[in-house]
Amino acid sequence: MQLTSLMLRFIVLFGLWYLTKAVKLPPNVSVPAVIAFGDSIVDSGNNNNIKTLVKCNFPPYGKDFQGGTPTGRFCNGKIPSDLLVEELGIKEYLPAYLDPNLKSSDLLTGVCFASGASGYDPLTPKIASVISLSDQLEMFKEYIGKLKGIVGESKTNFILANSLFVVVAGSDDIANTYFVTHARVLQYDIPAYTDLMVNSASDFVKELYKLGARRIAVLSAPPIGCVPSQRTLAGGLVRECAEKYNNAAKLFNSKLSNELKSLGQNSSNSRIVYIDVYNPLLDIIVNYQKYGYKVVDRGCCGTGKLEVAVLCNPLDATCSNASEYVFWDSYHPTEGVYRKIITQVLQKYDIDHHLSLEGCQIYVVGPNPGYVLLCLVSSHHNIHRVDSPT
């Protein structure tokens, strides 16, 4: 009986090793793909290909991206989704799913479905005429079909189960839909509205799980009251952080964290993680000089107080050195700030290609150099490919 059990375990491990090799993971990589959903924080160009005013595929956007190429990223350079695939060693940047130049090989290592100005509230993307989370899910289903056509069902299931899924939304709901347009104020107070957001986020994560996702990271809302545009609109004459915006974000984050913890406990073979970006970004904003920045209350583009998307355009003057600024435009941080936050996130939450081996059993399935260690994580019954030690 014991021999049979060991044999079955070996067969399972060998099968997973074979699938790992079949999808051709780069050296020292255990996450085959990153797949992103949400809003402008991770939108790498999907809005370029839809009818909306929320675009940025023109200068000065992309000033520091691949020689000054505007790609539809709401930043001077790379955005968090790009930095994740870069840090995980998967590829240089994460392409937009709607990119007309997307190649079949790009699908194997991940794409982005996010749309700038989208949110958890279904009304949020309607206001801006962008891609809702429900439509992003439909695009993801289409992606799964394409993936099966390329590598088959078994390898597709392997990619989905081992990829990192990233969800980033909430800031547009709070800042734009609730406070700026007042579209929900008569229907909900802030506690009720954040309940709506959390319920939507929970439903979205559940749908991802049903479709095969097992490693899901959901980012918190940022300190939205401290971004330059919201300081201008609600920070008074001295443009302080708008605390009612930040308080709404903190309430949402608290509820989201608890909901994701519950989902993780009740979803077998999964790791569902709440990622706090509120406090790391707030620390940079409050202590910006300690981090080497000179300007925190204005963006690099134009006056920096309101310019974003079409308002940040070639007619606007742009600062000479974006690395001195916390924010690129009036809403989005610079690449340098994103890099600092992503580094902290990878360290804190161990979302890295060097996965923790604590509590694991190690199996050698190949010769050194280049052998693979497979790790059976008993607490969740997950199996991961882990780098061989040097």
H-only helix segments in 41-170: 80-87, 104-108, 123-128, 133-151, 153-162
Out of 40, 163, 229, 267, the active site residue is 40
Give yes or no for a contact between 72 and 45, defined as CB atoms under 8 angstroms apart: yes
The tokens describing 270, both together, are 């999964």
Q: How many CA atoms lie within 13 A of 210 on its CB side?
A: 9
Which among 374, 48, 39 has a CA at the least distance from the CA of 218?
A: 39
**How many helices (DSSP H) and strands (DSSP E) are in the chain?**
12, 9
Asked if 354 is an active-site residue, the reply is no
Compute CA 142 distance to the chain's CA centroid, rounded to the nearest angstrom. 20
CA 265 – CA 201 distance, rounded (Å): 16
Give yes or no for a contact between 118 and 127, defined as CB atoms under 8 angstroms apart: no
The residue count of the chain comes to 390
Asked if 40 is an active-site residue, the reply is yes
Using CA atoms in the order 126, 138, 93, 357, what is the torsion angle rounded to 10 degrees?
120
142: which strand partners?
none
The tokens describing 366, both together, are 């190949």
CA 21 – CA 7 distance, rounded (Å): 21
Out of 132, 173, 297, 332, the active site residue is 332
Asked if 283 is an active-site residue, the reply is no
Give yes or no for a contact between 229 and 283, defined as CB atoms under 8 angstroms apart: no
Q: Is 110 exposed, middle or buried (0-12, 13-18, 19+ CB in 10 A)?
A: buried
DSSP string, 87-114: HTTS-S---BTT-TT--HHHHHT--B--
Out of 82, 172, 297, 329, the active site residue is 329
CA 135 – CA 129 distance, rounded (Å): 12
The pairing of beta strand 164-168 with beta strand 215-219: parallel
Active site residues: 40, 329, 332
